Amino acid sequence: MRFPPGRYVLDGEIIIEVEAGRQEFDLLSQRIHPAASRVKMLSEKTPATYVAFDLLARDDDVLLDRPFLERRAALEALVAPPVALTPMVRTAGEAQQWLQDAEGVIAKEAGAPYQPGERTGMVKVKRVRTIDAVVVGWRPGKEEGTVGSLILGLYGPDGQLREVGHSSGFTAQEKRALPARLAPHETGERGSGEPSRWTAGRDLEWVKLRPELVVEVTFDHVSDGRIRHGAKVQRWREDKDPEECRVEQLDT
């Protein structure tokens, strides 16, 4: 990855964009690997891009107290390929499309300074989506006798039920009450997945359920056919046939 020559400090992130407007976190996370040869191979197969959000300093000038639009103008004058510049529009109407086909938008005050570690002068407007999903299992919580999360599934075009994510964020009271509610639907099958680098070596214990329960959940991001940010249960859909919960919902 190459940057324009000079002395400066950028705020930004590294992404892998598989097609216009669609990023894949999984492809980027695969770069965290001890084998340099694999990292090199993946960097050639799925090249990453650095997207610049803001310019914090240039040469001996610290720009933190400058208004956002002034920093933006300086950033536009500095950044050149292969570094990308995050897109910006001036009106809410122009940003509307991003709320339909992207994760959301960051709204910034034109005159706001840059305050490290804070979101002063800006707000993230997320795209919140809703689907109905089948509860295919659950994972225990940290406290004995509680539910930590529900495992969610959707039916694919082949009629097979596949896992698409999980929901969490229950209150302490809900976590204690859920085992009794879920017990009549258990298949008797339980186990644990392989520990991963994201779970600090902990096994992902799970309890399988028959596909009989449906929940309506909200979420804000899908990547590679899975819900990537924690979904939240809004209600139980006793009026919904599990087989109506189709994977096509993730495309809307």
Q: Write the CATH number for 147.
A: 2.40.50.140
Torsion sign (Cα): 7, 13, 19, 25: positive
Residues 33 and 117 in one domain: yes
**Phi and psi (nearest 5°) for 95?**
-85, -5
Which pairs from 69-77 meet CB under 8 Å and 24+ separation? 69/110, 69/111, 71/114, 75/10
Is residue 2 included in any domain, yes or no? Answer: no
Residues 117 and 180 in one domain: no
Q: Residue 152's domain spans which residues?
A: 129-251
Per-residue pLDDT of the chain (252 residues; tens, 9 = 90+): 678 889 999 999 988 865 544 555 667 777 777 788 887 888 788 888 899 999 999 999 999 999 999 999 999 999 988 899 999 999 988 988 887 777 778 999 999 999 998 888 999 887 778 899 999 999 999 899 999 999 999 999 999 999 999 998 789 999 999 999 999 999 999 887 644 443 444 446 899 999 999 999 998 777 778 887 678 999 999 999 999 999 999 886
Q: Please name which of 250, 190, 247 lies closest in space to residue 220, comparing C-alpha atoms.
A: 250
Residues 112 and 33 in one domain: yes
How far apart CA 101 and CA 127 sit, in angstroms, is: 9
SS3 246: strand
Is residue 85 included in any domain, yes or no? Answer: yes
Is residue 204 included in any domain, yes or no? Answer: yes
Question: How far are the Cα atoms of 1, 9, 106, 196 from residue 78, in angstroms, in the given order?
Answer: 16, 11, 22, 40
> Are residues 205 and 166 in contact, defined by beta-carbon separation less than 8 angstroms?
no
Is residue 99 included in any domain, yes or no? Answer: yes
Is residue 210 included in any domain, yes or no? Answer: yes
Residues 149 and 181 in one domain: yes
Lookup: tokens for 214: 């449906």
DSSP code at position 31: T
How far apart CA 60 and CA 68 sit, in angstroms, is: 19
Q: Which of 89, 107, 126 is the last residue of a domain?
A: 126
Identity of the residue numbered 158: D
pLDDT at position 24 is 58
Is residue 3 included in any domain, yes or no? Answer: no
> Are residues 134 and 150 in contact, defined by beta-carbon separation less than 8 angstroms?
no
Residues 188 and 219 in one domain: yes
SS3 21: coil
Residues 32 and 133 in one domain: no
Q: Quote the number of domains for the chain.
A: 2
pTM of the model: 0.61
CATH code at 78? 3.30.470.30
Q: Which of 126, 160, 179 is the last residue of a domain?
A: 126
Residues 100 and 137 in one domain: no
Q: Which helix (H) or strand (E) holds 13?
A: strand 8-15
Residues 6+ positions from 214 with CB-CB distance below 8 Å: 132, 133, 134, 135, 236, 237, 238, 240, 241, 242, 245
Give the up-direction half-sphere exposure of residue 130: CA atoms within 13 A in the CB hemisphere. 6
Residues 103 and 158 in one domain: no
Q: Which of 110, 126, 142 is the last residue of a domain?
A: 126
CA-derived radius of gyration, the chain: 22
Is residue 55 included in any domain, yes or no? Answer: yes
How far apart CA 75 and CA 81 sit, in angstroms, is: 13
